[in-house]
Structure 1
Amino acid sequence: MTLVIERPSPTADTAPVKPVRSYRSWWILTPLLVVAGLVNGWNLHGWPGRINDDEGTYVDQAWAMLDHGALAHYTYWYDHPFLGWAIIAGYAGLTDGFDRAPSGVMVGREVMLIAALVSCALLWLLARRLRFGRGWSAVAVALFALSPLAVYFHRMVFLDNLATMFMIAALAAAASPRRSVGAALWSAVWFAGAALCKETIVILLPALVWLLVRHTDRRTRPWNLGVFGVTFAVLVAAYPVFALLKNELVPGAGHVSLGWALWWQVFGRAGSGSLLDPSSGTYGLAHSWVDLDPWLIVPGVLLVPAAWFVPRLRPIALALLIQVVMMCRGGYMPFAYVIAMLPFAALLIAGLLAAVPTRVPAIAAGLVAAVLVLPAWTSTMVAQSHVDGSADSRAATRWVVDHVPRDSVVVTDDYIWLDLKLAGFTKPVWLWKVDTDPEVMTEVLPAGAASIDYVVLAGQADSTLASLPTLREGLAGSDVVERFGEIEVRKVRR
């Protein structure tokens, strides 16, 4: 296989590229978005099931913004910037989401569906600005939208989905054919939005700056980079300024702080191990991605070296390489980490196939897709369409609503917490706030475990209960009154 090696030239690297204004792009993109919407929206609430209560946390925090103007349903401790759940709150407010949806988390998943479709449109725009043909741009969008791995994570309420959407917008602005200061300005605005949704996205700054450099004229490059840097810095600085105004920038007695939260995020968490260690949590997480779908992330990563022979793909390859290297360092690896890798893997696969001067690799890829990829994807998506992974959680919630007094103290996860609040319960307690939030212990659990009436949870790991002794004591002194799959409703004995 021979790649077309692009040499830096006025035509390839610095000459202005006229914007493509053609209805033909819409004739291709519109059906793609319809198919993406159907695939990502079908059984939105049922698959994946309720497997990571970060979903509930972000939706609960959005509810708190609307209900009583707070940044979180408990004390906001700067775990993440709050733009992500502010977007969910805005959507819920405009659509009356928390009053109409069958469950609070469904509101967040609706926002994720919209974010996925916007990301698809932006990925098309980015691919076209990287001089992909319409056909290969469609391939990139299809990979990003239809892979079961992508669908699995795009549906869940993770800040990474919103941050990735803004990141793709920043890259598309940086690659603007106008090569103007305005393009640099908007690239900074969108990238700041990404950072204010999920701060870890800033590791991709080198790739974004490289793309911006490639798409600016040498004569105006200092101005463009200056505008980008100042705009991004000013917008992101609003977050620490906010903390400073609340006297919560640095650690101190009696209050949370941004400084402590950043320290905890970087150094305080137990590491997941390196991707290079087969016994590590990081390796196991990556293996689960491959089990779900090996046809997107694996080829994308393997093609990173080849992408260096295609100059227009080098910033995209760098973005994916940075994320792979971070997986090898041995630090904490978030469950949703793969989300920001998906668009770059899709672009590399489509971009490298487009760069090959002969049709043989494209034909071979098409045969592989027809024989292996599409049947596997179709089988997975058909199977998931019949799964209702949230049924047990909803059933447990309904039982509590029907049988437990509204003033009872119910310890539960963040999925069920909001649905109980919406049903009129006054004292639901998120399990992670037992023993860790002084306000909860003083006002809701003054007698410790004796203050708990019910516990509604799936089985918890010993390591979790070791850090929550009051919850452990409550569970030890309780009896199961109902069971819904793995979720037990326990009544604490007085």
Structure 2
Amino acid sequence: MTAVLEIERSPVRGAAAASAVEPRPSRWRTHRASLLVLAPLLVLAGLVNGWNLHGWPGRINDDEGTYVNQAWALLDHGALSHYTYWYDHPFLGWAIIAGYAGLTDGFDRAPSAVMVGREVMLISALVSCALLFLLARRLRFSRGWAGAAVFLFAVSPLAVYFHRMVFLDNLATMFVLAALAAAASPRRSVGAALWSAIWFASAALCKETIVILLPALVWLLVQHTSRRTRVWNLGVFLVSFGVLVASYPVFALLKNELLPGEGHVSLGWALWWQLFARSGSGSLLDPSSGTFSLARSWIDLDPWLLLPGVALIPLGLAVRHLRPIGLALLIQVVMMCRGGYLPFAYVIALLPFAALLIAGAGAQLSARLRAPFVVAAAVLAALLVFPGWATTLREQASFDGSANSRAATRWVVDHVDRSAVVVTDDYIWMDLKLAGFTKPVWLWKVDTDPEVMTEVLPAGVASIDYIVMADQAASTLAGLPTLRRGMESSTEVARFGEIIVRKVHP
């Protein structure tokens, strides 16, 4: 009894007992301040990125239709593509779109099939904003500067333009941000390394070219592991990532499509074509190159996110906690200078790192200047940036760039027999298919897909009833002679802006 009384009177043991029974603060209380900053930013991002989602940008890149159509094929009849799957990209990206479409009855609900994909892109943008905020906080940004990074990433007209379109790069970038946030986990655990590997493998299985960011991710992981467990954590990361990514070539091997051979597609041939046979876009350092022109179009849309971000790469490499971010952006800029092929959507993976570097530079500047100077700099930046942003964002909220394509589709549905052979782009293809057309043909499959030429176009031009598309460049038609002859032997029966409905008379 005396011993018990002594224990109860002991101040040390009493404090320990009190702390043992004191409830831990709830997750809401712990992260309340961050959630109060992030929540309105997500609302703003949802409004800016979701308003007029179908109308702006217009239907300017056939890849949008391609990925949505591949998702439909996966959902409808278990195929990896609406035509022969030739390993152009891993299929996780459009599998995610297919999953969303299946859960929401998307292809029966949406006014146009591509809208289903754009809804997935909107969700991806919001998740990316939340992950960017988490990553910034784990990189020791204050809540205010983490919020600034999210604001830039969510509201920049350049970002909004690409966030809306159905590109695998958006999903890959979302997974890269998840991998970086996991790698920067304050727990510094093996579990963090494992999750980082899972998310980065998911990114690679959406868009394989994203693996160029592996050095930046490994650097961040090294920074956020202790010396005692670093080798183990890196081993878990590299092995897990390697095993997960290897599932793609194993899939090709099981289908006997790993190596080139007679009568079948192959992963080996697709990789060779992507790396060596595809026509290059030229170097960013050459003002006459396609790469330079594409980069110029990004800057014309919004110079205030990408240019400052790239200019701040040296600062990023000079500040320890920003070095992996600076390296990630530097790698991508260097790749633009090599002279290879530059995809239209390449800029997507640059955007979060540019936003982080700008916010990080702001944090460094505010820590060294007095408050009045910081306020003056912020006001000056707002006066320079916001007028241009407001003009572009106002346009995106009101312009319906897909109206002509939708009108042309409606005309075909109302006036053309469902059994007619209609050659069209990949936006209209899916809507015609959902409307009951049995023989729509994607224009890029004319003359290039033996199955299409044998089963749908056995008589060449004589098998085509209608061509529905915008005028094509002469260089494009030179590689599609059947389509070119079909357009030459057709008459225009309806026009909706740039989209022309042609009746073919072989």
- What TM-score does the superposition give when structure 1 sets the normalisation length? 0.95
1:483 aligned to which of 495, 498, 505:
495
Q: Which amino acid aligns with 2:439?
A: K
Displacement of 1:375 after TM fit?
A: 2.0
2:331 aligned to which of 322, 332, 342:
322
Q: Distance in 2 between matches of 1:339 and 1:102?
A: 27
1:295 aligns with 2:304: yes
2:263 aligned to which of 254, 279, 289:
254
Structure 2 unaligned regions, length at least 5: 1-26
1:170 aligns with 2:182: no
For 1:451-466, what aligned pairs fall within 5 Å after superposition?
A: 451-466=463-478
1:419 is aligned to: 431
Q: Which amino acid aligns with 1:91?
A: Y
Report if the CA contact (8 A) 1:159-1:197 is conserved: yes
For 1:4-403, what aligned pairs fall within 5 Å after superposition?
A: 21-356=30-365, 357-359=367-369, 362-403=374-415
Displacement of 1:313 after TM fit?
A: 0.2
Three-state SS of the structure 1 residue aligned to 2:188 is coil
Three-state SS of the structure 2 residue aligned to 1:482 is strand
Displacement of 1:380 after TM fit?
A: 1.0
Displacement of 1:404 after TM fit?
A: 0.2
Q: Distance in 1 between matches of 2:208 and 2:435?
A: 34
Q: Deviations for 1:159-210, whole angstroms, at most 9, x for unmatched residues?
A: 0000000000000000000000000000000000000000000000000000
C-alpha distance 329-120 of structure 1, shift in aligned 2 (>3 A)? same
Displacement of 1:373 after TM fit?
A: 1.0
Q: Which amino acid aligns with 1:22?
A: H
Q: Distance in 1 between matches of 2:454 and 2:380?
A: 61
Q: Distance in 1 between matches of 2:112 and 2:248?
A: 31
Report if the CA contact (8 A) 1:46-1:390 is conserved: yes
Q: Which amino acid aligns with 1:171?
A: L
Q: Which amino acid aligns with 1:21?
A: T
Q: Deviations for 1:264-313, whole angstroms, at most 9, x for unmatched residues?
A: 11111111011011111100000001100000000000000122221000
1:7 is aligned to: none
Q: Which amino acid aligns with 1:234?
A: V
Larger Rg: 2
Q: Distance in 2 between matches of 1:285 and 1:363?
A: 35
Three-state SS of the structure 2 residue aligned to 1:479 is strand
Three-state SS of the structure 2 residue aligned to 1:140 is helix
Displacement of 1:363 after TM fit?
A: 2.9
Displacement of 1:368 after TM fit?
A: 2.6
Displacement of 1:369 after TM fit?
A: 2.9
Three-state SS of the structure 2 residue aligned to 1:489 is strand
Three-state SS of the structure 1 residue aligned to 2:303 is coil
Q: Distance in 1 between matches of 2:31 and 2:118?
A: 33
Three-state SS of the structure 2 residue aligned to 1:114 is helix
Q: Which amino acid aligns with 2:399?
A: V
Using CA pairs under 8 Å that are at least 6 residues apart, name the structure with larger relative contact order, 1 or 2: 1
Q: Distance in 1 between matches of 2:317 and 2:104?
A: 46
1:469 is aligned to: 481
Q: Which amino acid aligns with 1:253?
A: E
1:9 is aligned to: none
Q: Which amino acid aligns with 1:358?
A: R
Displacement of 1:374 after TM fit?
A: 1.6
Q: Which amino acid aligns with 1:396?
A: A
Report if the CA contact (8 A) 1:480-1:489 is conserved: yes
1:436 aligns with 2:448: yes
Three-state SS of the structure 1 residue aligned to 2:325 is helix
Stretches of 4+ aligned residues off by more than 6 angstroms? none
1:16 is aligned to: none
- What TM-score does the superposition give when structure 2 sets the normalisation length? 0.93
Displacement of 1:364 after TM fit?
A: 4.3
Three-state SS of the structure 2 residue aligned to 1:296 is helix
Displacement of 1:353 after TM fit?
A: 1.4
Q: Which amino acid aligns with 1:23?
A: R
Q: Which amino acid aligns with 1:296?
A: L
Q: Distance in 1 between matches of 2:504 and 2:252?
A: 40
More helix by share: 2
Q: Distance in 1 between matches of 2:120 and 2:400?
A: 20
Q: Which amino acid aligns with 2:437?
A: F
Q: Distance in 1 between matches of 2:180 and 2:298?
A: 25
Q: Distance in 1 between matches of 2:72 and 2:318?
A: 49
Displacement of 1:365 after TM fit?
A: 3.6
Q: Deviations for 1:380-408, whole angstroms, at most 9, x for unmatched residues?
A: 11122110000000000000000000000
Displacement of 1:358 after TM fit?
A: 2.4
Report if the CA contact (8 A) 1:310-1:355 is conserved: no
Count of matched residue pairs:
476
Displacement of 1:22 after TM fit?
A: 2.5
Report if the CA contact (8 A) 1:145-1:151 is conserved: yes
Q: Which amino acid aligns with 1:297?
A: L
Three-state SS of the structure 1 residue aligned to 2:333 is helix
Q: Distance in 1 between matches of 2:337 and 2:376?
A: 32
Q: Deviations for 1:233-275, whole angstroms, at most 9, x for unmatched residues?
A: 0000000000000000000000000000011111111110110
Tell me the C-alpha RMSD between the 2 structures.
1.0
1:6 is aligned to: none
Q: Which amino acid aligns with 2:476?
A: T
